[in-house]
Amino acid sequence: MTQLSKENPLNKNVLNNINRKSVLQPGEVALVGSGPGDAELLTIRALRFIEQADVAIYDRLVSDEIMALLPESCERFYVGKEQAKHCVPQGKINELLVQYAQQGRKVLRLKGGDPFIFGRGGEEAEFLLEHGISCHVCPGITAASGCTTYAGIPLTHRGVAQGCTFITGHMQNDGQLNLPWQSLSCSSQTVVFYMGINTLPSITEQLINHGRDANTPAALIRKGTQPDQQIFRGNISTLADLVKQHNITPPTLIVIGDVVNQLTDTALAKPGFLDAKDYQMKMPLAVKAG
């Protein structure tokens, strides 16, 4: 059995009772989702890969709190990207992963959220496999799930939203935002846009043009699940102004749908905590009906 360091949280007996299946061998890569920021949202599998890594290649969206969990001896390479400003091109990242694996290192590829949701994890895995390098894959809590939950927004709610769609608001290479607007404008679903802050005016315009009610509740969640998380609530027609007024920058998620104000219509006292006192003051009818 692998020896765990004294200071590591996995030393807790209760976690040791969970059978260890995540063993990173020299020459292998672990492609790991770190969730939206709060280290408590890491999976146990993610934490186990983190503690075994001797080299970590990580993105901008991996929080400092999570980076602090890496072993001291682990080498760190930042390959973060910002929209349109690629720090290290994707091709180079792929090559780095192969190089380190071929040197017999235990390589951790650490990504924000889930590696397979708008994370290019599929491309990296493909490249590794093509080069004969085996790869452990580990999901993370994706921003749409983690950030909405920590903002007190249920993505689906009986009688309010029967489904939800995660979609990218990032423009295609031709400078267009060609999305299935008709289906995104259906009122019984929640729509979550990733990477949409720069294209927000066209997103809201298209939704309204395709029949979504301009008064549909909407929210912007910046740095969701982190101690400095910000939530801005409005409706489809006010979102673009909110961005200007508060100078909202990435990483921000756009959430559209009636679920936005289902549990609360204000910022929470702390991320991920719904205060019963606030709820009873704001939603007295809902409490009675319950």
- Residues forming contacts to ligand SAH in the complex (CB under 6 A) are 36-37, 61, 111-114, 117-119, 142-143, 147, 194-195, 221-225, 250-253
Min. distance of Cβ 244 from ligand SAH in angstroms? 18
Distance of CA 149 to the CA centre of its chain: 12
User: What is the rounded CA–CA span in Å between residue 41 and residue 69?
Assistant: 13
Q: Which residue, 71 or 227, has its beta carbon nearer to ligand SAH?
A: 227
Min. distance of Cβ 138 from ligand SAH in angstroms? 12
Which of 6, 21, 54, 59 is catalytic? The answer is 59
Min. distance of Cβ 71 from ligand SAH in angstroms? 24
Which of 12, 54, 64, 81 is catalytic? The answer is 81
| Nearest C-alpha neighbor of 58 from the set 35, 41, 80 | 80
221 φ/ψ sector (left φ>0, alpha ψ -120 to 50, else beta): beta
User: What is the rounded CA–CA span in Å between residue 195 and residue 79?
Assistant: 18
Q: Point out the residue whose Cβ comes nearest to ligand SAH.
A: 113
Min. distance of Cβ 68 from ligand SAH in angstroms? 17
Min. distance of Cβ 158 from ligand SAH in angstroms? 26
Q: Which residue, 105 or 166, has its beta carbon nearer to ligand SAH?
A: 166
81 is catalytic: yes
User: What is the rounded CA–CA span in Å between residue 71 and residue 48?
Assistant: 11
Q: Which residue, 32 or 74, has its beta carbon nearer to ligand SAH?
A: 32
Q: Which residue, 121 or 217, has its beta carbon nearer to ligand SAH?
A: 121
User: What is the rounded CA–CA span in Å between residue 242 and residue 259?
Assistant: 19
59 is catalytic: yes
Q: Which residue, 10 or 226, has its beta carbon nearer to ligand SAH?
A: 226
Helix ranges (DSSP H) in the chain: 13-16, 44-52, 64-67, 90-102, 121-130, 143-150, 181-184, 200-209, 239-246, 276-282, 284-289
User: What is the rounded CA–CA span in Å between residue 271 and residue 151?
Assistant: 6
User: What is the rounded CA–CA span in Å between residue 156 and residue 241?
Assistant: 26
> Do 192 and 254 meet the contact criterion of CB atoms below 8 Å apart?
yes
Catalytic machinery residues = 59, 81
